[in-house]
Structure 1
Amino acid sequence: MKIALIGYGKMGKAIEAIAVAKGHEIVHRVDLNSQHLLEKEELSKADVAIEFTGPETAYNNILKCFAANVPVVCGSTGWLEQLPAVKSICLEQHRAFLYASNFSVGVNIFFEINKRLAELMANQPQYEVKMEEIHHTQKRDAPSGTAITLAEQLMEKVRRKQEWVNDEASKPEQLSIISKRIDPAPGTHSITYTSAIDDITITHTAHSREGFASGAVIAAEWLKGKTGIFSMKDVLSL
């Protein structure tokens, strides 16, 4: 499989190492300082593009991939207000798009655990709930995309929480997400339900970027040759 890597920072290089070890070829590399080099002619050489840049560039990068008729696996966070537009364009143009706030197999299993626990706690108002996420200091968005996904899953079940705030909650209907930036943490996410009697906490801790990078390559392998809008739930049959 021929891969275009859009975003050649630490994550991009981790993806490259795993992809090459699996026998894939990197045919195009674009880092944050050379976005102008993301041209249709170069992109069209790839079977799939993996996009890991940031909120300022993700949207335009995805549209350039669509223009080149290249399936896109996107892991950029902080740009999701533009996601509906991307999905609409993808369907109109019969392209392929897969977005995940986190590509780790373990995290995607953790998402399912979070949804099930939230379902069980929905009718237990004696429990207050809050979240915490810890990442390295180079992560630019807060809360993380993974934390936002977890929060949205939780609020869908626990209806007494109507919005998340990236701070200590000041209102009963708010879900508190505390974001910490500590090196060299690659990513920890915890959800805690607290009552006067006991606490229930679920936590996922990443030990390195390898889990994210490996999952992105698995997603790219799965997406090749498809059209439509997908997620890691589709890839992992969750």
Structure 2
Amino acid sequence: MKIALLGYGKMGKVIERIALERNHELVLRKGSQDSFDGLENADVAIDFSVPSVAVENISTCLEKGIPVVSGTTGWLEKYDEMVALCNQKNGSFIYGSNFSLGVNIFFELNEYLAKMMNNLKQYKVSMEEIHHTQKLDAPSGTAISLANGIIKNTSYENWTLDEANENKIHIDAKRIENVPGTHSVFYDSEVDQIEIKHTAHSREGFALGSVVAAEWILGKKGVFTMKDVLGI
């Protein structure tokens, strides 16, 4: 499989190594200032760039008929536009706020717990996410996905980085050196606390998941998620 790698920072380099280990070929390694030369030779593109260029990367791939897998977060106000473009071009697109297998299992646990807790009004939900200091968006895309999973299954209406209120889930976003990603969901009452937590030990899980998603999407048309890739 020939891969165009859009975003060549720390994460991009881990994706490159794993792709090569899985006997794939990289035909483009694009930093934020580089051109798209070579994209036309790719079977699939993997976008792990930055929010300011993600939409351009994704739309360029869809315009050129290249299936694209994106793990860049912080641009989701344009997500519906990318879905519409994918459908218009009969393209192939996967967006994931997190490509780790463990995190996607965590997403399912989070929704299941939210359903269980919905009628227990004595418990108030809050969240914490910790990432490395180079992460540009806050809260993380993973934290937003977790919050949306809770909102879908409870009476909460939104999330906030500010002080919590009855209708909003408070997310405490922290940036600390050399932390790949930690996400916690808390249910607090006067008598106890329930916590579920996922801790990433390295970028390996995210990188592997993105390459597996790229392998999976070949030959498929439509807009997909990691739930489709993993069959969960």
1: CA distance, partners of 2:118 / 2:152: 9
1:2 and 2:36 aligned? no
Structure 1 runs (4+) greater than 6 angstroms displaced: none
In structure 2, the residue matched to 1:181 is: 175
Q: Which one of 15, 36, 39 corresponds to residue 38 of structure 1?
A: 36
CA RMSD in angstroms comes to 0.8
- Of 52-61 and 2-11, deviating more is 52-61
Contact 1:168 1:178 in 2 (8 A): no
Which of 120, 123, 130 is matched with 1:124 structurally? 120
Residue aligned with 1:216, SS: helix
Which of 196, 200, 203 lines up with 1:202 in the alignment? 196
Aligned to 1:163: 158
Look up the SS of the partner of 2:196 in the other structure.
strand
Q: Report the alpha carbon displacement of residue 13 of structure 1 after superposing the two structures with TM.
A: 0.4
Q: Is the 8 A contact 1:135 1:186 kept in 2?
A: yes
Deviations 1:192-230 (A, max 9, x none): 001112110000000000000000000000011211000
Mapped to 2, the partners of 1:68 and 1:50 lie a distance apart of 14
Letter of the aligned partner of 1:25 in structure 2? E
2:12 corresponds in structure 1 to: 12
Structure 2 counterpart SS, 1:33: coil
**Could you list the runs of 5+ residues in structure 1 that have no partner in the other structure?**
none
Give yes or no for the alignment of 1:138 onto 2:171.
Answer: no
**C-alpha distance in 2, partners of 1:45/1:102?**
27
Query: CA separation in 2, counterparts of 1:99 and 1:81?
Result: 13
Match of 1:61 among 57, 66, 77: 57
Q: 1:55 Cα deviation (Å)? A: 1.4
1:38 is aligned with what amino acid? Answer: F
How far, CA to CA, are the matches of 2:211 and 2:117 in structure 1?
35
Whole-angstrom distance in 1 between the partners of 2:55 and 2:160: 25
2:52 is paired with a residue of what secondary structure? coil
Q: Distance in 1 between matches of 2:163 and 2:204?
A: 32
| Uncovered stretches (5+) of structure 2, i.e. residues with no partner | none
The DSSP-based 3-state class of the residue aligned with 1:142 is coil
Residues of 1 paired with 2:166 and 2:220: CA distance? 44
List per-residue Cα deviations over 1:121-164 (Å, max 9, x = no partner): 011100011000000000000000000000001011111x2111
Identity of aligned residues (%): 54
Mapped to 1, the partners of 2:44 and 2:63 lie a distance apart of 13
1:71 to 44, 49, 67: 67
SS of 1:177's equivalent? strand
* Structure 2 Cα separation of the partners of residues 194 and 21 of structure 1: 45
Q: Please give the TM-score of this superposition, normalised by the length of structure 1.
A: 0.96
Q: Partner of 1:44: helix, strand, or coil?
A: helix
**What TM-score comes out, normalization by structure 2 length?**
0.98
User: Alpha-carbon deviation of 1:168?
Assistant: 3.1
**Distance between the aligned counterparts of 1:143 and 1:130, measured in 2?**
13
Residue 166 of structure 1 and its aligned partner are, at CA, apart by 1.2
1:150 aligned to 2:179? no
**Aligned AA (1:177):** I
